[in-house]
Amino acid sequence: MSKRVVVTGMGVITPIGIGVQIFWNNLIAGTNGVKKITTFSTDGFRTDKGGEVLDFDEKKDLGKDYLAMGRSSKFAITSIIEALNMAKIDLDYLKKSKVAISVGTTMGEMQIIEEAVKTFVTKGFSDVPDDLPKKYPCNVISANIAKFFEISGQTIVIPAACAAGNYAIGYGFDLIRMGRVDLAIVGGVDPMSNIAFAGFSKLMACSPDVCAPFDFERKGMIVSEGAGFLILESLENAKNRKANILSEILGYGVSNDAFKSTIPHPEGKGGILAVKKAIKNANLNIEDIDYLCAHGTGTGENDKVETIISKEVFGKKAYNIPISSLKSMLGHTMGACSAIETVACTKMIEEQILAPTINYKTPDPLCDLDYVPNTARKAKVKTILNNSYAFGGNNSSLVIKEFQE
């Protein structure tokens, strides 16, 4: 018999706040975390706006190894510390338990690569750091987490673009459900990256000012950074610890568009498949879903296709299911987005409040659903579907539910 999987701890680092409570307060207040980029020069780009975490202390005293890590690893470890503290789990407990680490990312430690390339171009090969090979690969993030917390169990990094956070949560969910581990540290992380910024600018996908998902005058996405991590446990393990259970993960679905790498399938075929898989995997039906946490990038095609997906899956009920895009406030945190959104979804269930889609002014006839415009809303919400539709055609959908015995 498969095990039930629950959430007992969460941690976040975002452009609108470090720490779950600060993040949540700013989220329901509709705070815009998008500002002028300070990390690098934006001369020649379509926009100078981004979602930076400006108040993160990279030099805090968490040991020599921590200080030598890249920004993604530091983000991850800091948010995991918060999640473990919330779950009331210490290092001794981790050492004696069956624990897995599952991380989603798009860019990995891209800032380290960028700095190395800059050094190579301006100073030459001899000045490139000798320790570069052990600092930039994507798997370094999970390795750094394992070393920092002295976890010797399974580790994995899933670079599934902007759907990576949900993929990572789903992987940890499966390990627990099958009884292979008792506890999984899962989530996603990405740093602000010059390369990502340049790439999306080249695609003309970036908004010059704000992210306005589902709005008729939306102009594109905003590149951002952040991290979100959760502690997943089997229900049995959580009860044995007398843990405070925050929510339950019921199931997930993944798929690929098998279409173009930077444009969703115009009929939403891959996204529809992922959503249907998630609902089936959770042993639910469409009537059980109370809210959709949208991918909602603010690009013309994504938002239109996402609306098509909702209508195809839910039929007439689509008009009665509230949807909102947290990217309107956070920008697009890449591989971290769906993990951060899962934290937000858990808080929405806990507080019975739906986060808004800000910057919404002009309705789009092709996006005609309820996007919780501009103001947070009280609502009865038990079951949430968190959707991500990424470049490369990677789609993921996760079902989060209020915990009940």
336-392 per-position pLDDT tens digit? 999 999 999 999 999 999 999 999 999 999 999 999 999 999 999 999 999 999 988
User: How do 247-256 and 394-401 pair as beta strands?
Assistant: antiparallel
307-347 per-position pLDDT tens digit? 999 999 999 999 999 999 999 999 999 999 999 999 999 99
pLDDT > 90: percent of the chain: 81
Interatomic CA distance for residues 251 and 71, integer angstroms: 31
pLDDT of residue 346: 99
From residue 344, give the alpha-carbon distance in Å to each of 24, 57, 111, 347.
7, 23, 27, 5
pLDDT of residue 122: 81
Interatomic CA distance for residues 281 and 400, integer angstroms: 12
Interatomic CA distance for residues 117 and 124, integer angstroms: 9
pLDDT of residue 98: 96
- Our count of domains for the chain comes to 1
pLDDT of residue 202: 83
- For residues 42, 43, 45, 50, the Cα torsion angle rounded to the nearest 10 degrees is 20
Q: Which pLDDT band, with edges at 50, 70 and 90, does 64 fall under?
A: confident
Residue 112 has pLDDT above 80, yes or no: no
pLDDT of residue 68: 87
Kindly report the CATH number assigned to the domain that includes residue 221: 3.40.47.10
Q: Which pLDDT band, with edges at 50, 70 and 90, does 77 fall under?
A: very high
Mean pLDDT of 23-50: 95
pLDDT of residue 248: 99
Q: Is 18 helix (H, G, I), strand (E, B) or coil?
A: strand
Active site residues: 162, 295, 332
Q: Which has the closest alpha carbon to 346: 277, 278, 399?
A: 399
pLDDT of residue 297: 96
Residue 127 has pLDDT above 80, yes or no: no
Mean pLDDT of 82-98: 96
What range does the domain containing 386 cover? 5-401
Return the minimum-mean-pLDDT range out of 85-89, 119-123, 233-237: 119-123
Within 10 angstroms of residue 129's Cβ, the number of other Cβ atoms is 12
Mean pLDDT of 29-33: 98
pLDDT of residue 133: 66
Q: Which pLDDT band, with edges at 50, 70 and 90, does 1 fall under?
A: low
**CA-atom Rg of the chain in angstroms:** 20
pLDDT of residue 20: 99
Mean pLDDT of 149-156: 96
Look-up of token digits 């610890």:
241
Within 10 angstroms of residue 320's Cβ, the number of other Cβ atoms is 10
Residue 114 has pLDDT above 80, yes or no: no
Q: Which pLDDT band, with edges at 50, 70 and 90, does 113 fall under?
A: confident
User: How do 35-36 and 383-389 pair as beta strands?
Assistant: unpaired
Q: Side-chain half-sphere of 353: how many Cα atoms within 13 Å? A: 14
State both tokens at 173.
Answer: 């969910």
Interatomic CA distance for residues 305 and 217, integer angstroms: 16
Mean pLDDT of 116-142: 76
- DSSP code at position 171: H
pLDDT of residue 159: 94
